[in-house]
Amino acid sequence: MTMPDELNPSRELITEFLRGEVDPEREPEIFEDDILLLAVERLDEADPDWILGQLSNRAWPVHLRAQILSLMVRHYPQGHAILGREAPELPGSPQDF
């Protein structure tokens, strides 16, 4: 079982991404080494309420939230339903899989 404090670095990285502070041009290693992907996977499994809450948070740009959603597996259908209400044109409906 993952301890909550162990999840903080993943939360911080995702929050920085959603704020636009982390992108492939400024920090390519985060994307090339799948660090963001691993952070999303960790929270998708260990703290889905937090990551789904971020997808619901309209303070973050929808295109960045959609990028986080694209990395989710376990709770992708719930995340797609959340973003789909805001962005009906969002591709990747769970029925497509």
Q: What is the pLDDT of residues 1-29, one digit of tens each?
A: 555 589 999 999 999 999 999 999 999 99
Does residue 96 form part of some domain? no
Q: How many domains does the chain have?
A: 1
Q: Number of C-alpha atoms within 13 angstroms, CB side, residue 78?
A: 14
**pLDDT > 70: what percent of the chain?**
90
Does residue 95 form part of some domain? no
What one-letter code names the amino acid at 95?
Q
Instruction: Please tell me the pTM assigned to this model.
Output: 0.88
76-79 long-range contacts, CB within 8 A, separation 24+: 78/48, 78/52, 79/51, 79/52, 79/55
Q: Please check whether residue 40 is in contact with residue 51, taking contact to mean a CB–CB distance below 8 angstroms.
A: yes
Mention every residue, 6+ apart, whose C-beta is less than 8 A from residue 19: 60
Does residue 97 form part of some domain? no
Range of 71's domain? 4-90
Does residue 20 form part of some domain? yes
Q: Is residue 30 scored above 80 in pLDDT? A: yes
